[in-house]
Structure 1
Amino acid sequence: MASARPRLSLIYLLPLWLLSTLAAAEERYREVEISAPYIELQTGPGRAFPSIHAVGRGEWVEVLKRRTDWFKLRTHKGVEGWVHLDQLSGNLDQQGEPLRLDAPRLDDFSRRRWEAGLLGGYFEGAALLSAYGGFALSQNLSAELAFSHALGDVSSQLMADINLVAQPFPEWRISPFFTIGTGLIHTRPRSTLVQSEDRTDQTANVGLGARLYLGRRFMLRGEYKNRLVFTSRDDNEEYSEWKLGIAFFF
C-alpha cells in the first residue's frame, strides 16, 4: 500500500468551506392549506391516541415529519399533533394543488430525516463492505455513522467513521454531495511470512458522491473518498476508496 506525507490541498479546503456555509441554512418545511371543513390533530401516530386540536378550513400547517401513514403537523399557533394520510391527502399545497400522499415521492426524498444503506466497493484494491446510517440536520446538511470492512490479500481493515455530508441540491433526483469526517481504522495483517502486530490509527477523510432517487423510499448511492491515516511512523498513509450500493430513507 502506498504511503505519503501529510499535505494540505484544495480537496481538503473546499468541503470545509462548503460545510461551514451550509450549516447556517435554516430548515424549511412543507406548508399545507386545509381545504376540508377541519382535520383533527392527535397526540401520537395511531388511531388509539386522543384528539387534541381541530384545524379549520383556510388555516395553514407545517408538515414536520412522516411515520408510515401518519404525519406530524404544526399550526401557526405552535400546536403540534399527528394526522392520518386520509385526512391530510386532498388538502392544498403551496401552489394550490391537491396533495397526493399515497406513496413517498421525490419531495419526500429531498426532505428525508433518516437514511441507511449497505454499500460495496474497493479500498486500495481490497474488497470493501460498508453499512451506514444518517440523520438530516437540515435539508442541506446531515450527520452519518459508518462501519466498513476491507478484506485484502495482505491485511484486513475495520473502519468506523463519523461524517458530515453537505448536499447543495436536495431537490434534484440525482443529488451530488460532499463529505468530510474522522474515525478509526484497525489493521490486522494476514501474511504469515512477516511478523507484524495489529494496530489502530486515527483517520481523516474527504469525499464526494451522488444519490439517485429510484422511487418510493429507495435510492442508489455512490461515492469516492480519500482517506488519510495518521500512523506512529514518520510517514502517514493515504488511501482511495470507492463504494456503490442501495439505501432507503424514512
Structure 2
Amino acid sequence: MPSHRCNRSLLWLLLWLLCLPAAAEQQYRQVEISAPFIELQTGPGRAFPAFHAVARGERVEILMRRTDWFKLRTRKGVEGWVHLQQLSGNLDSLGEPLHLDTLRLADFRQRRWEAGLLGGYLEGAALLSGYGGFAFSPNLSAELSLSHALGDFSSQLMADINLLAQPFPEWPVSPFFTIGTGLIHTRPHSTLVQSEDRTDQTANVGLGAKLYLGRRFMLRGEYKHRLVFTSRDDNEEYSEWKLGVAFFF
C-alpha cells in the first residue's frame, strides 16, 4: 500500500508539472483586433518586412515587448512584431479599448542594453568614444568602449573594459562610478625625433551621471583618471572628459 500511494503521489506531481507550461501560456495578455487589420513584421523595427495580416475579430496574445514594439502570437501560432501605434486602440479581454504606455522612466531603470557616442578631451586632445553596455542588475553593468584621441603631436587608440556601479538607478539624473582596464596604442606625429608606436596597458577610475531625456534616449557625461603602465621607468597619467548621447533597448 505505501508503495502504491507513493507511485500515485509521483503521478499527480508529474501531471502537475506537465500542466505548468500550459498554465503559464494562459497568462499572456489577450487582444481582440478591432481595426480592419494589423500587419505582423518579422522583427521589432520598421526596416523589417510585413509578412502576415491579422483581420478584424481575431484574437492574439502579447508575448513580449521591446521598446515600442510588441511580439504577438495568433490563434494559429503565427508570431510577429507590431508597433505600439497599430496595437493601441484595439480591444482587451474585457472588450475595452486597449491602452499601452509609451516608454517611461521605469523602462530607463529596467534597461538591459545601452550604447552611445561621446566626445570630449584627453589631456587637451580631441576625443571621440563609442561604447556598448549590458546591465546585470539596475546597479551593476559591464561596458566595452573604443576611443580615438587626436592631438598635435600624437594620436591614441584606446580599448577598455569597465564595470559601472549606479547606486541610485531610480533617479532621473543618476550618478555612477566606474573602474576598468584596457590598452592604449600611441602613434607619434612628429618626424623630428625618432619615436616609435607603442602599446601599453591602462587602468582607469571615473565618475559621471546619466540624464533620462525621454523615450529611449539619455544624456551621459563622465570624467576618468587614466594611468598608463609604460615600459619606461615612469608611468603616465591622463585626465579624460566626455559628454554625449546614448540610447537603451
Q: What TM bracket, shorter-length normalisation?
A: 0.5 to 0.7
Aligned structure 1 segments of 4 or more residues deviating by more than 3 angstroms: 44-48, 81-87, 99-102
Counterpart position of 1:110: 109
Give identity over the alignment, percent: 73
User: How far apart, in 1, do the equivalents of 2:139 and 2:223 lie?
Assistant: 19
| SS in structure 1 at match of 2:107 | helix
2:68 touches 2:102 (CA, 8 Å); kept in 1? no
3-state secondary structure, aligned to 2:106 = helix
Deviation of the 1:71 alpha carbon: 6.0
- Matched positions, count: 191
Equivalent position amino acid for 2:195 in 1 = S
Q: Report 1 or 2 for greater relative contact order, CA contacts < 8 Å, sequence distance ≥ 6.
A: 1
What pairs up with 1:139-178 in 2 under 5 angstroms?
139-178=138-177
- Tell me the residue number matched to 1:66: 66
Change (3 A) 1:192 1:219: same
2: CA distance between counterparts of 1:152 and 1:114?
32
- Note the C-alpha offset of 1:90: 9.7
**2:121 and 2:240 in contact (8 A); partners too:** yes
CA distance in 2, matches of 1:90, 1:166: 42
Question: Does the 8 Å contact 1:115/1:135 carry over to 2?
Answer: yes
Structure number with higher helix proportion: 2
Give per-residue Cα distances to partners, 1:213-248, cap 9 Å, x unaligned: 111111110000011111111111111100001111
Corresponding residue for residue 223 of structure 1: 222
Paired AA for residue 162 in structure 2: N
Structure 1 residues not aligned, in runs of 5+: 1-33, 56-62, 73-80, 92-98
Tell me the CA shift for residue 65 of structure 1.
Answer: 5.7
Using the alignment, how far apart are the partners of 2:99 and 2:108 within structure 1? 15
Rounded Cα–Cα distance in structure 1 between residues aligned with 2:200 and 2:64: 40
Q: 1:107 aligns to what SS in structure 2? A: helix
Q: 2:65–2:71: 8 Å Cα contact kept in structure 1?
A: yes
**Structure 1 residue 113 displacement after superposition:** 1.2
Measure the CA separation in 2 of the matches of 1:175 and 1:100. Answer: 29
Pair 1:188 & 2:166 matched: no
Report the TM-score when normalising by structure 1. Answer: 0.65
Residues 122 and 241, structure 1, Cα contact 8 Å, conserved in 2? yes
RMSD between superposed Cα atoms in Å: 3.4
In 1, Cα distance between equivalents of 2:230 and 2:91: 59
Q: Secondary structure at the match of 2:143?
A: strand
SS at match of 2:234: coil
Letter in 1 for 2:222: E
